[in-house]
Amino acid sequence: MILAVPIVCYAVLTGPPIKPGETDARLFVSTGVRGVFFFTWIEVVWLSLWVSKLVAKLSPAIFMALCGVVSSGTRKYASILKAVEIPLSLVLWAIVCLVTFTTLTSGTLNGTKPLHWVSVVKNLLVPTLIGFVIFLIEAVLVQMLSISYHHRSFSGRIRDSKNAIHLLGLLYDASRALFPMYCKEFAEEDYIINDSLEVMITKSTGQSGSAR
Whether 170 is in a domain gets the answer no
The length of the chain in residues reads 212
Per-residue pLDDT averaged across 59-86, rounded?
A: 79
Residue type (1 letter), 135: F
If asked whether residues 115 and 196 sit together in one domain, one would say no
What is the predicted pLDDT for the residue at 54?
Answer: 94
Domain annotation covers residue 172: no
155 and 201, same domain (yes or no): no
Q: Is residue 174 part of a domain?
A: no
pLDDT number for residue 204: 67
> In b/e form, how buried is each residue of 68-87, taking b as 16+ CB within 10 angstroms?
beeeeeeeebbebbbbbbeb
Is residue 196's pLDDT more than 90? no
What is residue 27's predicted lDDT score, i.e. its pLDDT? 56
Same domain, 59 and 149: yes
Between residues 167 and 114, which one has the greater pLDDT? 167
Task: Give the mean pLDDT of the chain.
Answer: 78
Q: How confident is the model at residue 58 (pLDDT cuts 50, 70, 90)?
A: very high
Q: Are residues 105 and 196 in the same domain?
A: no
State residue 61's pLDDT score: 86
CA distance 76 to 23: 56
Given a contact cutoff of 8 angstroms between Cβ atoms, the answer to whether 56 and 89 are in contact is: yes
- In this predicted structure, the answer to whether residue 177 has a pLDDT above a threshold of 90 is no
Is 168 domain-assigned? Answer: no
Segments forming the whole domain that contains residue 19: 4-162
pLDDT in tens, 139-148: 999 988 888 7
Assess if residue 67 is contained within a domain: yes
Number of structural domains, the chain?
2
| 116 and 189 fall within a common domain | no
pLDDT tens readout for residues 16-50: 555 544 444 455 556 667 777 888 889 999 999 99
pLDDT top residue among 97 and 36: 97
pTM of the model: 0.64
Residues 72 and 98 in one domain: yes
What CA–CA distance (Å, rounded) separates 166 from 172? 10
Is 167 inside a domain boundary?
no
Same domain, 111 and 201: no
Residues 200 and 135 in one domain: no
